[in-house]
Amino acid sequence: MKTKSNSFFIVYVGIFSILILIGIVLVFLGIKDTVQLNAKTKHYEKTTGYLSDYIMDSEGGYNPKRKTHSNPIYFLSYNYTVNGTEYTVTTDYSTSILPTIGTTREIRYNPSDPQIAVVIGPNGNTTMILVGALFAIVPCAFLIPVLSSGKKEKHKGKQHKKLPIDGFRLFLGLILAAFGYGALYLITGSFSIGEILDYYRTSFTFPLVIPPILLTVGLFTAVTAFFPKKLAEWQEKQKKYEEKMEDIKRRMDNYRH
C-alpha cells in the first residue's frame, strides 16, 4: 500500500511540476517579447485610435465531434490619423468579447513610416504571460497542501504555534484577485477603475460578469485569511445549521411515512 501511495505521490508531483515548468517558460517568452516590443516602440509617437471594424478569425459554431458550441472570435481593427492621413492597425490577438465601435485605444506609430503601428494595452504577449502565470501558480496551489501534509506526517507529535493568518487562503485569494483584475485588463485594455467601468457601461455582455466575480471572491478569500478563528467559527455554525436542517428534513420524511 505504501508503495502505491508513494508512486501516486511521485506522479502527482511530477505532473504538476511539468505544468509549473510550462508556465515559467510561457511567462519568460511573454516577458521577453514584451521587452523587445517596448524597445522597438520606444521612440514611436502616440495617438488615439478608434475601433472601426471586427475582422473574423474564427466563425465558431457547433463542433459535432466535441459536442460543444463556440462563439465567433474577431481581431479588432483601429483607425488613427497622422498629419491628416488615416491609417488602420489590427490587434495581434482575437477575442469573442467585442467592445463597441468607436471605443478608443492608444496607438503608437513609427514617425518615419506612420503605417507601422501597434495597439497599446493587452496583446498576445500579455495573454501568454497570464496563461503562463496560470500554469505556474495554480499547480502550486494544489502542491503546497500536499507537500505540507507530508511534512505534518513527518513531524507528528511536535507542537507548532498556529499562525494568526491562514497563509494558503491568503495565497489563493491573491491569485484569484490577480487573475480577475488581469482578465479585466485583457478585456478593457486599462487598469483604471473609471475606464473599466466605462467599458462595461458601453460594451457589456454576459461573460463580462466573470472577472468581477473572480476579483470579489479573491479579495474576500484574502481578507478572511486574516481571521482564521472567526472563519472556523462561522464554518462550524454553518455545519451545525446544515446538520439541523438535514435532521428536520429526515424527521419530516419519517412523519410522512
Please write the tens of the pLDDT for every residue from 132-189: 888 887 777 777 666 665 555 555 555 545 556 777 788 888 888 888 888 888 778 7
**In this predicted model, which residue has the larger pLDDT, 144 or 246?**
246
Mean pLDDT of the chain: 81
Please write the tens of the pLDDT for every residue from 21-52: 898 898 898 888 888 888 888 899 999 999 99
SS (H, E, C) 127-163: HHHHHHHHHHHHHHHHHHHHHHHHHHHHCCCCCCCCC
- Look up residue 247 and give its three cell numbers: 435532521
Please write the tens of the pLDDT for every residue from 44-82: 999 999 999 999 988 877 667 766 777 788 999 999 999
Given CA atoms 83, 87, 93, 97 in this order, what sign does their dihedral have? positive
pLDDT at 136: 81
pLDDT at 257: 63
pLDDT at 153: 52
Residue 205 clears pLDDT 80, i.e. is over it = no
Grid coordinates 518615419 are at which residue? 112
For the entire predicted model, the pTM comes to 0.64
**In this predicted model, which residue has the larger pLDDT, 96 or 4?**
96
Rounded CA-CA distance 188/103 in Å is 10
